[in-house]
Amino acid sequence: MRGSSGAGPALPELIKRLRAAIIVMMLLFLVLIGRLWQLQVMRGDGYYQRTVENVVHERFLPSIRGKILDRKGVPLAANRLAYNLYVTPATYPAAAAELTKLLGLTDEEAAKLQERALAGAKRSAKTPVLGLEDQGTERAALVDQANLRLPGVEIRSEPYRFYPEGEVAAHVVGYMTQMNADEQERLAGQGYGQSEMVGRYGIESMFENYLRGKKGKERYAVDAKGKRIDDAMAAGLIEGERVIDPVAGSDVVLTIDLKLQKIAERAVAPYAAAGVVVVEVKTGRILAMVSKPAFDPNIMTGHLTRADQALLDSDPRKPFIDKTLRMTYPPGSIFKFVTALAALTDGQVTEDEKVTCTGQYELSGNTFDCTAAHGALDLLGAIQHSCNVYFWHLAERVGLDRMSEVARDYGLGVPTGLGLNGDAPGRIPTRPWYEQRGKYKVGFATNAATGQGDVEVTVLQMAMAYAALANGGTLWVPQIVARVLDGDGKLVLEYEPKVARQIKTPPEAVDVWKRGMFKVVNEPGGTGYPYATSTVVTILGKSGTAEVKSKSRRERLEERTMEGWHPTNSHAWFAGWAPAEDPEIAVVVMIEHGGGGGKVAGPLAKAIIEGYFTKVKDGGQSVAPATPTVPHPEDKP
């Protein structure tokens, strides 16, 4: 037989099919080769780079922040080693529960971690962000021991801001906090990482660009679980420099003398709220500046809890507001130099002219009460006894606008130029100012003459004004930074005293005011006698008791008060300088709602002045006891 119906295909058909299969296999092979060529040759660099990006990470190396030093080099802000906890946003959710249990995190800490991780994820989910600052050795050890169970969680040993003096000069020095979202966006182009802390107040904020230094950078490799691998194993993956060293920030040297600062802070310690400024008469350099109540920068820098924040925010004394620069107050009788100089300069009064004070003053149907019925007084006696009636008479003669001119000559009503913590301008009202707000009344000038009504000043403004009175008319721009030094101690910047203006008040007019100040402190009957009378150095001064605007009964009841402080009490002021001849320092003390100026603020100013001459000047050498003498030979008791 020639074949069978059950036989397979003929040989030619098999060969045909085999050829087709080979062709298909060759085509598939060529496609595979092409794909491999595409992946390895055409896109190889890109895929390699992507692989490296997944394995090789970068982190900034923090620079050592510059120190803030007092004028003698004593640190007010420095750095110490701290253990900071970082989390990688992409992997943190898997580790959150374990980390919370391991460290015993509070609800507030856990919420902070979650918030920072979410904020970091919006920018770079694979870049570690600072989760919790300054965690201590125990927590650091726990994290290191459990690192295999905590993907994307690590402890970094880094320099951390530290304030060795705590609350001392807190408003001057300031504190640091982590940037908010807006700041992260705005400062990213300036080299700030999303986890960085920035100066938030005081010198920390004002000199941020000098203090922060320049960050370094480190590139390192991680395994699939995000854990760092040995640098030697990672060497083939990391191209270029593996480490770029950071550059330390510059040190900022202040004009503040820490010893005098502490003397001033101890002086006002018994009082609930106060402001003090001590300034060099001949340079405008600030030697001490106290704002009370204060805050501890160590707590504010990374350790502030919601409870702490709520307590500070609810304090009616407003501890976050600088009482020497930002808060404004009616100055009371320490403002009377403005009225006296205006009248003397314009020939509206002589020092011998007497006015009889019956204890009251009638004006336009209104009665103004003086502090006492002083009888017949000349101008020197009016300064000595702080007789309001005498100065109300002067106000009628010189007028509000003339007093405003003199006040502005002495730097009142405008910012001082220090540029720190707000530097409020205060308020020196004029007749047009009142007319814009309604009808002008003669009584407005009467109130202004004694530093009341709508007159408001800062403690620093008054310190600079009294320094100008003491030095013969040079109004300085206040200075609080002496120089800036780089990390090697080399000079970067040096600040010289700067004159705001030369005041052209006639010397004989200023001399009358000075002799009146002498009587205030050194003669019986003076409002500062014997409270500010010193046996160490002769002090010239003027007290002031500034009444506050009355509040409704409901407002008074709602105010949270404390012993010795109530929002309806007068402010106690004392302004002066020493020595009487060739003055060196001017001092202004303001006790917020403290009561009578001479009795309350006078002794504090005396303590500060005596502390300067016995413990600070010339290394703390004691000076010979002062014998008060009338600084003008023609002055009569």
Please tell me whether residue 346 adopts helix, strand or coil conformation: coil
Burial class of 102 by CB neighbour count within 10 A (0 to 12, 13 to 18, 19+): middle
Which domains can be identified in the chain, with CATH numbers?
Answer: 57-87+101-224+247-254 (3.90.1310.10), 258-315+322-619 (3.40.710.10)
Q: Write out the two tokens for 228.
A: 């760092």
For the chain, the straight-line distance linking the first and the last C-alpha, in angstroms and rounded, comes to 161
Q: Write out the two tokens for 37.
A: 């060529």
From the list 92, 127, 83, 123, the residue with the least C-alpha distance to 110 is: 92
The band of 127, judged by pLDDT with boundaries at 50, 70 and 90, is: confident
Q: Does pLDDT of 79 surpass 90?
A: yes
CA–CA dist 459, 573 (Å, integer): 9
Q: Tell me: the pLDDT tens digits for 374-419?
A: 999 999 999 999 999 999 999 999 999 999 999 999 999 999 999 8
* Residue carrying the six token digits 């009795």: 599
Least confidently predicted of 238-247, 306-315, 322-331, 352-361: 238-247
Q: Tell me: the pLDDT tens digits for 3-29?
A: 445 555 577 777 878 787 788 888 888
Burial class of 352 by CB neighbour count within 10 A (0 to 12, 13 to 18, 19+): exposed
Q: Write out the two tokens for 79.
A: 């750095």
- What backbone torsions phi and psi does residue 400 show, to the nearest 5 degrees? -65, -45
In the DSSP assignment, the letter for residue 614 is I
CA–CA dist 426, 560 (Å, integer): 26
The band of 541, judged by pLDDT with boundaries at 50, 70 and 90, is: very high
Q: Does pLDDT of 52 surpass 70?
A: no
- pLDDT of the residue at 637: 34
> Taking a C-beta distance cutoff of 8 angstroms, is the pair 244, 89 a contact?
no
CA–CA dist 473, 510 (Å, integer): 9
CA–CA dist 289, 257 (Å, integer): 10
Q: Tell me: the pLDDT tens digits for 138-184?
A: 999 999 898 888 988 999 988 899 999 999 999 999 999 888 777 77
Q: Tell me: the pLDDT tens digits for 229-273?
A: 766 665 656 666 778 888 899 999 999 999 999 999 999 999 999
Q: Tell me: the pLDDT tens digits for 179-198?
A: 877 777 777 777 777 667 89
Query: What are the start-end ranges of the H helices in 122-211?
Result: 136-145, 170-173, 181-187, 202-206, 208-211
> One-letter amino acid identity for 191?
G
Q: Is the peptide bond before 507 cis (omega within 30 degrees of 0)?
A: no
* Residue carrying the six token digits 């309604």: 438
> One-letter amino acid identity for 226?
G
Q: Write out the two tokens for 632.
A: 């003008």
